[in-house]
Amino acid sequence: MKHAFVPPADLEPLVRHPKATGPGQHIGLHHSTCFGCGDDTPLGLHLKVIAGDDLSVTAQMPVVDWMQGGPGVIHGGVLSAAFDEVTGTAPLLIGAPVVTVHLEVDFAKPIPLGSTLHFEARILGKQGRKIYLAASAHLGDPEQIVASAHALFVTIDVQKHFAEHYDKRVIL
Ligand SMILES: CCCCCCCCCCCCCCCC(=O)SCCNC(=O)CCNC(=O)[C@H](O)C(C)(C)COP(=O)(O)OP(=O)(O)OC[C@H]1O[C@@H](n2cnc3c(N)ncnc32)[C@H](O)[C@@H]1OP(=O)(O)O
C-alpha cells in the first residue's frame, strides 16, 4: 500500500512493561466517556483493544449505520478516529501514556456498512518522548488490507496535561 510516512531509521527499540496487560487481554478503559473506548457514550466507537504478545494490539469494530459517509460506506473521519484509538492504546504496553501529535491514514478500499473492521497496530520504536506506530485494517482476510495508518504519539505527564481542561463532568 502506498503511503508517505517515513519513520526515522534510528528508532530506539522497546520492550513490554513488566506490568503491561497480558497477551489476549483487554487493555482497560482509558475513561468511561472516551469517544473511542468508553462504555458510557451512546455514540462512541466502544473499541475493546486487545494486547498482543509483543508490542502490538488488535481490535474489532462493526461498521454500523451511524458511521456512514459516502452512501453505503464508512466515513473517513470515523475510520481515522478508530485508528487513533487503537494506535493510541498500544503505547500502554510500554507503560507510556500518550497523546496523538500526528496521524496519517491511507484509505485503500471502500468499507461497507455491515462489515467488521479488524485492526492491528504495532509500536515501531521511540525517539525520546516520541513513539512511532503503524496500523492496518482488514475485513476478515488479513491479506486484503482496506486501510492503514501511521501515527506519532508523545508521552505526557497525565496530571499536568489534563489539569487545565479537566472537567468534573468527565467520569474517569
Ligand atoms: C485519563 C486520560 C489519560 C490519557 C493518557 C492515557 C492514554 C491511554 C490510551 C488512550 C488512547 C487514546 C487515543 C486517542 C488519543 C488522542 O486523540 S489525544 C488528543 C489529540 N492530541 C492532543 O490533544 C495533543 C495536543 N498537543 C499537545 O498537547 C502538545 O503538542 C504535546 C503533545 C503535549 C507536546 O508538547 P510539548 O510537551 O511541549 O512537547 P514538544 O517539544 O512540542 O513535542 C515533543 C516532540 O514531539 C514532536 N512533535 C510535536 N508535534 C509534532 C507533530 N505534529 N509532528 C511531528 N513531531 C511532532 C516535537 O518536535 C518534539 O520532538 P523532539 O524535539 O523531542 O525531537
Pocket of ligand 1 (CB under 6 A): 30-31, 36, 84-85, 88-89, 92, 97-102, 128-130, 152, 154, 156, 158, 172
Report the separation in Å between the CA atom of 112 and the middle of ligand 1, taken as the mean of its atom positions.
Answer: 32
pTM given for the model: 0.95
pLDDT of residue 165: 75
Report the separation in Å between the CA atom of 161 and the middle of ligand 1, taken as the mean of its atom positions.
Answer: 10
Span 137-155, pLDDT tens digits: 999 999 999 999 999 999 9
Residue 12 gets which letter from DSSP? Answer: B
Four-residue CA torsion sign, 153, 155, 161, 165: positive
What lies within 8 Å, CB to CB, of 55 at 6+ separation is: 14, 16, 90, 93, 94, 122, 123
CATH topology of domain 50-163: Thiol Ester Dehydrase; Chain A (3.10.129)
The atom of ligand 1 lying closest to the CA of 172 is 1
pLDDT of residue 28: 85
The atom of ligand 1 lying closest to the CA of 128 is 64
pLDDT at residue 1 is higher than 90 = no
Span 50-89, pLDDT tens digits: 999 999 999 999 999 999 999 999 999 999 999 999 999 9
pLDDT of residue 170: 55
Q: Are 47 and 115 in contact (CB under 8 A)?
A: no
pLDDT of residue 162: 85
Smallest CA separation from ligand 1 atom 48, residue: 101
Q: Are 56 and 124 in contact (CB under 8 A)?
A: no
CA atoms within 13 A on the CB side of 60: 7
pLDDT band at 13 (very low <50, low <70, confident <90, very high): confident
- Is the backbone of residue 8 left (phi > 0), alpha (psi -120 to 50) or beta? beta
pLDDT band at 168 (very low <50, low <70, confident <90, very high): low
Four-residue CA torsion sign, 19, 24, 26, 27: positive
Q: Are 81 and 35 in contact (CB under 8 A)?
A: yes
Q: Are 130 and 12 in contact (CB under 8 A)?
A: no
pLDDT band at 169 (very low <50, low <70, confident <90, very high): low
